Structure 1
Amino acid sequence: MDVWRITLAALRRWYVLLPLLALTGLAAVSMGEQVAPEYEAQAGAMITPPRAEAELVNPYGSLTNANEALGIVLNSVDTRRTVAEQGLSSAYEIGVASRSTIMQVSIRADTPEVAVGTGQAVLDLAVQELATRQTDAGLPAEAQFTLSVLEPPAVTAVVDTGSVRVKAVVAVIGAGLSLLVAVLFDDIVGLWRRSQEKRRPARRRQTVATADANPARDENDETVITQRVVPAEQAGGNGANLPRRGKSRAKAQRQAAARRRSDDPREPSPDVRVAQRIDPPDNDGDRNLETEATRHSGWIGPHGERPRRRHDELDRSAPSVGDDATAESSTDSRTDVGAPTSSGAARH
């Protein structure tokens, strides 16, 4: 899923994302307030030369070397552990400039007292380290390097970076989780809708299959079929009583024409019309024209067609020219026998 789709999902589910973001903000503020501020203290010292000349060589060699060596010792893990065992803060840093005899101490603690105490303890350890190493080398006290405090430990600032850091972490994690929940909710809703859309055609097919398995007609369907099949018994001559619900004008005209054809004495019985509507003839027109219904003299098809007669029926029904002449001659003979002639009348 790309950034655009994630954005669209978050916008669609804003009613899920916004409350979660609000809860994230409240959680960040509350957790940030629980973090206590830190106090920062500073201290400074300098390595001073000996007051007298020594016959022995100083183990540090020079003042700058002594300053650098002292910084390494104070920043070691053993020294930090020693400071922490005293109940002080191990979060301090020793800053030593190159080729310089000045040393800077930075301390950070939860309370001002701990910060100041940590700075003083670090300076004491520095003094102890200088004296121990030079004494072990056999130098007298007046010939040793010493540590002079330039700036005693003091609180210089109140640092609230811990609270800000906690707020930032909680806000980032909460915003990410809120966005993830909104996107997951959008995906779940989309899956549910797609499953519902897939189930609808299946339900429709099941309904159609059930209807096909039970092809029973209700009373309304039977009523409609009766009205279509036997319009002459229920409708008047002009078709005023024919139900016209949902029927167009052209269809009403066709039904009126069918009712007029039903007045013809050659019109087949309703049973024959039902058979013609329910069981329409197949594509073999010649064979269907030979059924009992089509042989009826007054049969009319659903589209107004009339049956075709075979040639033998046409021959039997149509009088020939010879028959007409014979009938005419017989008629003339009968007329001559019964009627008196003019000569006979004259004789009588």
Structure 2
Amino acid sequence: MDFWDLTKLVFRRWYIAVPLLLATAFAAVYTMNTVQPDYKATAYVQLIPPPEASIAKDIKTLRNPWLDLGLGALNTAATYATVDKRFLNQLKTGGMSDNVVITNGYPAPIATIEVIGSSQAIATGTADAVVKHFNDVVKSLQDDYAVQTPGRILTRRLDTGTNLEETGGKVKRALVAVLGAGVLVTAGLTIALDALMSGRFRRRGKRGETEVDESVAEPVITPTGGPGDRTVKIQVPPQASRQQSAVPAVNGGTPGETNGSKGSVRRTAEHAPTDATIVLPSSVYPKRGDRRDSRR
């Protein structure tokens, strides 16, 4: 069944599909009113080289290996260390969001932190916690090499913590799920009920045709011998043999007799067998001499 056949089936069984589609519409409206949207908080952290680096004649005297690698390398290392699974689990355990994404800027060493939370407070609180942890990671990575204060790379948050916006992704996903489920249920129930109703009507039609065929069945009369034989065989269908049927005799004939002049037979079949043999009178089949005369 293709889409066009399904569409025609839905229109044909509209009394089944329309209530289901209305229920789907009510469920979609209820979902829009009950599902709360998500909020996204965005923060920006800039890595700043040490002030002494601008006046130092030899940068190696600052003894900071991250300056040789570049600020971008420290930014990338701090990003990987911040989105560690352990730290995200701590955020989730503390009632904050673990949906955190950090993007490294190029060529400027700026880390863009995006947090999605179920409420404004959760989104902003998680963003502040991630920024603080990012700064601590940058400081810890330099402490591992015993970098002194004159040669230390600094961090600075560029936003004011008010970059908050409402996202409709959660509501859209819920609506898609409700509408998709409603359409599938509507199509499935419509097809199933249509098959059930069509099968029931088909069985009724076949049963009626069988009853009519059995009720109108007639006996079959077949001669068993040659032209001069007066014996015929009557085959009575099972349904007809259980019924009482009679053809009135003509000129006072008795049941089971054949009137040659009128050619009518009367038989009571209330207890008649399925096959019956009847001897017809000689008037039914003319003699050989008579037939020859008639041919002439």
Paired residue for 1:76? 84
* Residues 59 and 133, structure 1, Cα contact 8 Å, conserved in 2: no
**CA separation of 1:286 and 1:94: change in aligned 2, threshold 3 A:** same
Larger radius of gyration, structure 1 or 2?
1
Paired residue for 2:31? 31
CA drift of 1:19 comes to 0.7
Superposed, 1:1-348 pairs within 5 Å as 1-52=1-52, 55=61, 57-60=63-66, 61-207=69-215, 209-217=238-246, 229=251, 275=259, 276-277=261-262, 278=264, 284-286=285-287
Q: Secondary structure at the match of 1:106?
A: strand
CA drift of 1:13 comes to 0.7
Cα distance in structure 1, aligned partners of 2:175 and 2:102: 30
**CA separation of 1:286 and 1:37: change in aligned 2, threshold 3 A:** same
Code of the residue aligned with 2:65 in structure 1: it is P
Code of the residue aligned with 2:287 in structure 1: it is D
TM-score (normalizing by structure 2): 0.72
* Residues 62 and 150, structure 2, Cα contact 8 Å, conserved in 1: no
Cα distance in structure 1, aligned partners of 2:178 and 2:134: 41
Cα distance in structure 2, aligned partners of 1:180 and 1:97: 50
Select the structure that is richer in helix: 1
TM-score (normalizing by structure 1): 0.62
Cα deviation 1:184-236 (Å, max 9, x = unaligned): 2111122112211221232234445444333255xxx76xx6xx75xxxxxxx
Cα distance in structure 2, aligned partners of 1:282 and 1:17: 72
CA drift of 1:181 comes to 1.1
Cα distance in structure 2, aligned partners of 1:116 and 1:198: 72
**CA separation of 1:131 and 1:39: change in aligned 2, threshold 3 A:** same
* Residues 44 and 152, structure 1, Cα contact 8 Å, conserved in 2: no
Code of the residue aligned with 2:75 in structure 1: it is N
Higher alpha-carbon deviation: 123-132 or 93-102: 93-102
Cα distance in structure 1, aligned partners of 2:3 and 2:93: 52
Cα deviation 1:138-164 (Å, max 9, x = unaligned): 112232111111113224211222112
**CA separation of 1:160 and 1:288: change in aligned 2, threshold 3 A:** farther
* Residues 115 and 155, structure 1, Cα contact 8 Å, conserved in 2: no
Q: Secondary structure at the match of 1:152?
A: coil
What is the number of equivalent residue pairs in this alignment?
A: 243
Higher alpha-carbon deviation: 44-53 or 1-10: 1-10
Identity of aligned residues (%): 21
CA drift of 1:281 comes to 6.3
Cα deviation 1:284-322 (Å, max 9, x = unaligned): 223798xxxxxxxxxxxxxxxxxx9xxxxxxxxxxxxxx
Cα deviation 1:66-106 (Å, max 9, x = unaligned): 22222222233233223323321111211212332222111
Cα deviation 1:249-292 (Å, max 9, x = unaligned): xxxxxxxxxxxxxxxxxxxxx569x8343358665223798xxx
Paired residue for 2:277? none
Q: Secondary structure at the match of 1:108?
A: strand
**CA separation of 1:68 and 1:99: change in aligned 2, threshold 3 A:** farther
Gaps of 5+ in 1: 230-269, 290-307, 309-348
Paired residue for 1:324? none
Higher alpha-carbon deviation: 276-285 or 20-29: 276-285
Q: Secondary structure at the match of 2:108?
A: coil
Code of the residue aligned with 1:21 in structure 2: it is L
Cα distance in structure 2, aligned partners of 1:131 and 1:288: 136
CA RMSD of aligned residues (A): 2.9
* Residues 112 and 155, structure 1, Cα contact 8 Å, conserved in 2: no
* Residues 48 and 156, structure 2, Cα contact 8 Å, conserved in 1: yes
* Residues 105 and 111, structure 2, Cα contact 8 Å, conserved in 1: yes
**CA separation of 1:288 and 1:163: change in aligned 2, threshold 3 A:** farther
* Residues 89 and 98, structure 2, Cα contact 8 Å, conserved in 1: yes
Cα distance in structure 2, aligned partners of 1:282 and 1:199: 44
Cα distance in structure 1, aligned partners of 2:289 and 2:184: 79
